[in-house]
Amino acid sequence: MRVLLQRVSEASVSVAGQEIGRCGKGLLLLIGIKTGDSSAEVHYLVEKCLQLRIFADAEGKMNRSLLDIGGEILAISQFTLYADTRKGRRPSFIEAAAPEISEPLYELFVQELRAAGVRVATGQFGAEMAVSLVNDGPVTILLEK
């Protein structure tokens, strides 16, 4: 499982021109699930996203977590995080889990974030989405389990 985490001032997602999710200060999470992933990867990465100290403290140092600042999350399913571009010019997505495997794990990921008391907006699984964000920093980190 991979999560591309971006610290944001704000982010939103639209489907067919209609905004379906928005967050303020916090994180945009692009979540990629590969064949063989399970709830163990979900638990680990949810905890990492919630506890990662990437927000500024009073002295401007990255020393506070999303939970510390009361931040929000926009969580988007993103199978293209498993693009294999080593051969040719067209990416292969053979490592990405099939929707019947990845959708329940994505839903579990979102449930666990919400269970921690975080406001979580989402995209629409499997849909063509337009994601907008204001990357704060910019801070972009790839997490993997």
- Enumerate domains of the chain plus CATH numbers: 2-144 (3.50.80.10)
- Residues 18, 35, 51, 78: which is the catalytic one? 78
Clarify whether 79 is annotated catalytic.
yes
Clarify whether 78 is annotated catalytic.
yes
- Residues 51, 80, 111, 140: which is the catalytic one? 80
CB 42 within 8 A of CB 143: no
| Dist CA 7 CA 45 (whole Å) | 16
- The mean per-residue pLDDT over the stretch 110-133 comes to 97
pLDDT at res. 117: 98
Q: pTM of the full predicted structure?
A: 0.96
- Residues 6, 55, 79, 109: which is the catalytic one? 79
CB 75 within 8 A of CB 120: yes
Tens-digit pLDDT profile for residues 14-29: 999 999 999 999 999 9
Closest listed residue to residue 127, CA positions, set 83, 77, 82: 77
| Dist CA 80 CA 91 (whole Å) | 9
Q: Which two tokens stand for residue 100?
A: 């019947």
Tens-digit pLDDT profile for residues 54-106: 999 999 999 999 999 999 999 999 999 999 999 999 999 999 999 999 999 99
Clarify whether 111 is annotated catalytic.
no
